[in-house]
Amino acid sequence: MLFGNDNDRRMGAPTAVQRLPRKASTRNVFEHSEKLGRAPTASDLREVPVAPPATEAYIQAKKSMLAALFETVDISAVSDMDQTKARREMAKVIHEIITLKKLRLSTAEQSRIATEICDELFGFGPLEPLLARQDIGDIMVNGPKNIFIEVGGVVEKTDVQFRDDEHLLATCKRIVSQVGRHVDSSNPVCDARLLDGSRVNVILPPLALKGPTLTIRKFKKDRLRLRDLVDFGSISPAGAKLLAIIAASQCNVIVSGGTGSGKTTLLNCMTAFFDRRERIITLEDAAELQLQQPHVVSLETRPPNIEGKGGVNMTALMKNCLRMRPERIIVGEVRGPEALDLLQAMNTGHDGSMGTLHANTPRDAVSRIETMITMGTAALPILTVREMIAGSVDIIVQTSRLRDGSRRITHITEVIGMNGDIIITQDLLRHEITGEDKRGNLTGRFASTGIAKPKFYDKAAYFGLGDRLTKALEEAGALEARPENQAAKRA
């Protein structure tokens, strides 16, 4: 603990050698939880209780404490310490100040105020308890007083609040600064990520009318596998075998779905079946993929700096990626002209490449690819674009978030070619909703369409997986009539 000048000592308050800088540490190295190493169960979920709304007396006491800390402690020096030790030392200082100022706080309130102040200085303030919870998938901050979370596919409001717009804005700036990005009135929109990979989006006034708006898609610390998705009810056992064969056979795959439907989770699961000797290059706007192979190169786009220079978009990354001797290319999300580069890569020796995009059905996914390519290269005839899609994409996997909050892989669809100027697809497996149980959960079944020998059978046979593919399709047909009613939770 650091002590300051004689005047401060006469006042009886512990102080720092230097005055406190008005900017707190931007590093968040406080680890919230340990990895489970397997799919989470109900008993694994770490429930972090949210504190009740603060009273006016508590708020004033906290403001007084923060002012005293700014007067006495050099936070920049403390920030260089081990974070666990720094929090412990800071808690001691806070309790000493409470005693010296004779603040009337209960033991619980003293512990709470120490935790909240440490979170402000070393973490993300009011969001820390939410980030620590393993069962939360999304955190949505709609201004300082309205914070929502998604748990098990259901959105609910919390009692967590920021003091005001300035408090929320400071937290947003701290988050994006960790990855070398900035957000302010001249740059009011920013995509970033937390140190654990969780996706972050920030948008500020005047674009956001009700104050700074922050959205965090939390990064799962445990790596889920296809069998975990089977346990959750997101896919049938036969469907999981089919997806594993598709990944191992170096099929070119597009994973399609809406926001929060589990596209990235499914992509992560499928990559577990890649050959560990392959060189894989991933391209993302915000790094989320958790590939488990040893030979992986991860690339991330970069926005322009404050002068509007230095930006590197997905198209530039894709062009550079092709010079890096990739064997598979994984695009975290295809959303623009880079769709053309991905198709060219798929069709020129980079078999087994994958990407995700936003679409409601496999047919819509084909249309979206057409649209993205024509937006970037209007000179290409539409028939040429469609021929490229038909010649490049082997499989489209559709994921959906149903109205009860559950996630399902609703279609495994094969692109089989062209009929005139129309791209022809056929479903191999699809999910059919059959009803609703007493708790409001949708029930359904994964039904085979009866295709015994899909077009990619030759690819599977080349890798020695032809018999397994046949058995998986037979199993899917045999189990077609069996209902499934497990509540699939987002992985």
pLDDT at site 77: 62
User: For 115-126, what is the mean pLDDT?
Assistant: 76
pLDDT at site 250: 94
pLDDT at 16 over 70: no
Q: pLDDT grade, residue 70 (50/70/90)?
A: low
Of residues 22 and 237, the one with the higher pLDDT is 237
Of residues 163 and 56, the one with the higher pLDDT is 163
Instruction: Measure the CA dihedral 345/346/348/352, to 10°.
Output: 110
> What residues contact 346, with CB distance under 8 A and at least 6 apart?
252, 353, 392, 393
Tell me the pLDDT tens digit for each residue of 234-276: 999 999 999 999 999 999 999 999 988 889 889 999 999 999 9
What percentage of the chain carries pLDDT values higher than 70?
A: 81
Predicted TM-score of the model (pTM): 0.73
Q: Where does the chain hold its CATH 3.30.450.370 domain(s)?
A: 126-222
**Domain 226-478 is of which CATH architecture?**
3-Layer(aba) Sandwich (3.40)
Of residues 177 and 298, the one with the higher pLDDT is 298
pLDDT at 46 over 80: no
Question: H/E/C letters for each residue in 434-461?
Answer: EEECCCCCEEEEEEECCCCCCCCHHHHH
pLDDT at site 117: 74
Tokens, residue 415: 């692109």
- Going along 285-388, which residue ranges are E strands? 296-300, 328-331, 354-358
pLDDT at site 22: 32
Of residues 377 and 399, the one with the higher pLDDT is 399
Q: pLDDT grade, residue 342 (50/70/90)?
A: confident
Tell me the pLDDT tens digit for each residue of 185-215: 888 998 888 877 788 999 999 999 889 999 9
* β-strands 328-331, 395-401 pairing: unpaired
pLDDT at site 478: 62
pLDDT at 23 over 60: no
Of residues 132 and 24, the one with the higher pLDDT is 132
Q: Where does the chain hold its CATH 3.40.50.300 domain(s)?
A: 226-478
Tokens, residue 157: 């409001």
Of residues 308 and 3, the one with the higher pLDDT is 308
Least confident of 160-169, 236-245, 456-465: 160-169
User: For 361-374, what is the mean pLDDT?
Assistant: 93
pLDDT at site 299: 92
CA distance 155 to 146: 13
Q: pLDDT grade, residue 57 (50/70/90)?
A: low
pLDDT at site 240: 95
pLDDT at site 64: 72
User: For 222-238, what is the mean pLDDT?
Assistant: 89
pLDDT at site 236: 93
Tell me the pLDDT tens digit for each residue of 382-439: 999 999 999 999 999 999 999 888 899 999 999 999 999 999 999 999 999 998 888 8
CATH for 126-222 (1.10.3720.10, 3.90.76.10, 3.30.450.370, 3.10.620.30): 3.30.450.370
Identify the bridge partners of residue 356 per DSSP, sorted by sequence position: 255
Of residues 109 and 468, the one with the higher pLDDT is 468
> What residues contact 75, with CB distance under 8 A and at least 6 apart?
20, 21, 24, 25, 69, 121
pLDDT at 322 over 80: yes
Q: pLDDT grade, residue 281 (50/70/90)?
A: very high
> Assign residue 262 a region: left if phi > 0, alpha if psi is -120 to 50, beta otherwise?
left
Contact 214, 141 (CB under 8 A): yes
pLDDT at site 10: 37
Tokens, residue 315: 């198209």
